[in-house]
């Protein structure tokens, strides 16, 4: 089956939905989501969205400096300025689409503060900001006559000249995207979506690791697709581990205990009630996440414990319940009353700073292919993302890409000679165990060798083992009818490979990439002075 659209949007998080809404003013849009529209990282966001709105106390320069400092000196200065100065207009857009951010009695936004921010500037909706943004965007999408929604449709690969019999090489400047092959998970049919412009908005990669805050959809599909199509990928070594996810071994993904709770006054402690963050950084519990996550990791290694504690019992119980109702109820459901007991927490893979390299208009290195949100690498986050900057990046880049791609769409025709998917000679793979076992192996390798602390030896071990799983999985893929699980495994292996290779190339410790073999930051690589 073939379908033709002006725009193909892959992903239904903040980036994909807001891009779709904007470009739908100019043409027909297909919005493809691998499960239901609501299952996204966006829906899980708790803390909020960073933007300068209180102009009496805050200003763009402060937010810009905070972003560069968190990014450990290698953020792209043009991107940082673009995103931060465009924040207020995009917040206004979210409000117009029906998003509700909490306000104080005087009508001003109730702003929170999180690690690395010098001012209170986080707009939020209780402790479930992402769900509120997702709700508002979906209600707009569902009413839009120009947007066709395809839930339970899994994008397998983007279509390029490679599918017309030509090999794409990384140095080629004219690789072009003509759409994507998409699996209808209910009928098992593979649909050829032809599009004039394609937007990749597939989110993060957390499920490459054993412990993650990301929902199961985050398997790095978009990045893997672009990598296979020989597009440029960047910054994959910078994986952000959130310091405080709820320790509850029965559960995947790990439930997040928002950083806003430390902004509110919660304190990290060991089992005996002693504090430790002051040993690692003068900003204590509100130091940037890489520092806090490494400190917790180190304390867990010293004590042999599986977690540390976050203590909020000294705060007013009613206020705590009022500010963090979702966290209060979640912890209560597993027998922890956070107003009386400390919360067991552990770092978890949370966010990818790198991804598909894009320019200031959201263009990838492949013609007619844009990327936005967590799967993209804009340069905003450098070596470490400042809390609550990612929802902001997603909506700002959706906006710049929407503006830029309108003309591209108008100047492009569909490529009619693209062949349909050919799976002749393949069979249904009945052995799910091959996939589940390989998945577990990838996650263990990545967590044990390519986690918060790395070394040359660990990275080499990881690569050697991953290569074996890669070969076995490619054989299975070539012999099988495609399924979402098999494709996700293949994508996770590609992502693991990219993280390891880029980590091996970085001969320094910087931001989220910390290696025992090169403990210092190479200041010659700085794009911004942070000392």
Residues forming the active site: 289
Least distance to ligand SIN, CB of residue 42, Å: 11
DSSP, res 219: S
Instruction: Look at the alpha carbons of 121, 91, 76, 59 in this order and tell me if their dihedral is positive or negative.
Output: negative
Q: Which of 31, 41, 177, 205 binds ligand FAD (CB under 6 A)?
A: 41
Q: Which does 362 bind (CB under 5 to 8 A by kind): ligand SIN, ligand FAD, none?
A: none
Q: Should residue 33 be labelled a site residue for ligand FAD when binding is judged by CB under 6 A? A: yes
How far apart are the C-alpha atoms of 404 and 23, rounded to whole Å?
10
Structure-block tokens of residue 155: 């994008």
Q: By C-beta, is 42 or 168 nearer to ligand FAD? A: 42
Are 160 and 366 within 8 A, CB to CB? Answer: yes
Are 7 and 405 within 8 A, CB to CB? Answer: yes
Q: Should residue 214 be labelled a site residue for ligand FAD when binding is judged by CB under 6 A? A: yes
Structure-block tokens of residue 110: 């109730």
Q: By C-beta, is 114 or 515 nearer to ligand FAD? A: 114
Q: Which does 202 bind (CB under 5 to 8 A by kind): ligand SIN, ligand FAD, none?
A: ligand FAD
Structure-block tokens of residue 200: 């990749």
Stretch in the footprint of ligand FAD (CB under 6 A) among 44-52, 229-237, 400-408, 420-428: 44-52
Are 427 and 403 within 8 A, CB to CB? Answer: no
Least distance to ligand SIN, CB of residue 434, Å: 34
Structure-block tokens of residue 193: 């979506």
Q: By C-beta, is 231 or 382 nearer to ligand SIN? A: 382
Q: By C-beta, is 109 or 276 nearer to ligand FAD? A: 109
Binding site for ligand SIN (CB under 6 A): 46-47, 258-260, 351, 387-388, 390
Are 346 and 254 within 8 A, CB to CB? Answer: yes
Quote the Cα angle for 356-360-363, to 5°: 45
Q: Should residue 128 be labelled a site residue for ligand FAD when binding is judged by CB under 6 A? A: no
Structure-block tokens of residue 324: 């963090």
Least distance to ligand FAD, CB of residue 32, Å: 5
- Residues of this chain, 5-24, that bind ligand FAD according to CB under 6 A: 10-16
DSSP secondary structure string for all residues of 307-329: -EEEE-TTS-HHHHHHH-HHHHH
- Residues of this chain, 331-350, that bind ligand FAD according to CB under 6 A: 350
Are 83 and 392 within 8 A, CB to CB? Answer: yes
Q: Should residue 235 be labelled a site residue for ligand FAD when binding is judged by CB under 6 A? A: no
Q: What is the binding site for ligand FAD (CB under 6 A)?
A: 10-16, 32-35, 39-42, 44-49, 129-130, 154-155, 201-204, 213-214, 217-218, 221, 256, 350-351, 373-374, 388-391, 394
């Amino acid at each position: 089956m073939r379908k033709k659209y002006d725009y193909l949007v892959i992903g239904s998080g903040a980036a994909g939905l807001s891009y779709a809404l904007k470009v739908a003013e100019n043409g027909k849009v297909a919005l493809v989501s691998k499960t239901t529209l609501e299952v996204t990282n966006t829906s899980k966001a708790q803390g909020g969205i960073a933007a300068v709105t209180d102009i009496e106390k805050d200003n763009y320069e402060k937010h810009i400096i905070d972003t560069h400092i968190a990014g450990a000196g290698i953020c792209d200065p043009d991107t940082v300025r673009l995103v931060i100065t465009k924040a207020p207009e995009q917040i206004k857009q979210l409000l117009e689409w029906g998003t509700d951010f909490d306000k104080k009695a005087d009508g001003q936004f109730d702003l929170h503060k999180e690690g690395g921010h010098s001012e209170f500037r986080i707009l939020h909706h209780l402790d479930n900001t992402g769900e509120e943004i997702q709700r508002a965007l979906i209600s707009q999408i569902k009413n839009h006559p120009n947007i066709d929604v395809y839930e339970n449709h899994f994008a397998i690969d983007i279509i390029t000249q490679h599918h017309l019999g030509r090999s794409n090489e990384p140095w080629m400047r004219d690789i072009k995207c003509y759409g994507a092959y998409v699996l209808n998970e209910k009928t098992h049919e593979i649909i050829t979506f032809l599009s004039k412009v394609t937007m990749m908005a597939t989110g993060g990669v957390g499920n490459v690791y054993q412990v993650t805050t990301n929902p199961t959809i985050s398997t790095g599909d978009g990045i893997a697709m672009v990598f296979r199509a020989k597009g440029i990928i960047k910054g994959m070594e910078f994986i952000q581990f959130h310091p405080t996810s709820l320790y509850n071994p029965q559960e995947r993904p790990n439930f997040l205990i928002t950083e806003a709770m430390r902004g509110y006054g919660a304190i990290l402690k060991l089992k005996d009630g002693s504090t430790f963050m002051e040993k690692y950084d003068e900003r204590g519990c509100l130091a940037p996440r890489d520092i806090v996550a490494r400190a917790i990791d180190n304390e867990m290694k010293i004590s042999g414990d599986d977690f540390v504690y976050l203590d909020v019992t000294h705060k007013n119980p009613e206020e705590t319940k009022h500010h963090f109702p979702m966290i209060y109820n979640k912890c209560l459901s597993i027998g922890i009353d956070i107003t009386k007991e400390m919360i067991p927490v552990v770092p978890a893979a949370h966010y990818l700073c790198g991804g598909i390299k894009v320019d200031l208009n959201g263009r990838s290195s492949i013609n007619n292919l844009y990327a936005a949100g967590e799967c993209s690498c804009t340069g905003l986050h450098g070596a470490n993302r400042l809390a609550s900057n990612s929802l902001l990046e997603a909506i700002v880049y959706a906006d710049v890409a929407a503006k830029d791609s309108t003309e591209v769409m108008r100047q492009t025709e569909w490529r009619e000679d693209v062949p349909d998917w050919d799976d002749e000679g393949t069979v249904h793979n009945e052995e799910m165990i091959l996939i589940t076992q390989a998945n577990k192996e990838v996650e263990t390798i990545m967590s044990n060798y390519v986690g918060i602390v790395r070394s040359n030896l660990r990275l080499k071990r990881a690569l050697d083992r991953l290569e074996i799983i890669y070969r076995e999985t490619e054989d299975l893929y070539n012999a099988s009818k495609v399924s979402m699980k098999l494709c996700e495994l293949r994508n996770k292996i590609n992502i693991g490979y990219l993280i390891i290779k880029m980590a091996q190339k970085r001969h320094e410790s910087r931001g989220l990439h910390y290696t025992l073999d090169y403990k210092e930051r190479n200041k010659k690589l700085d794009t911004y002075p942070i000392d």
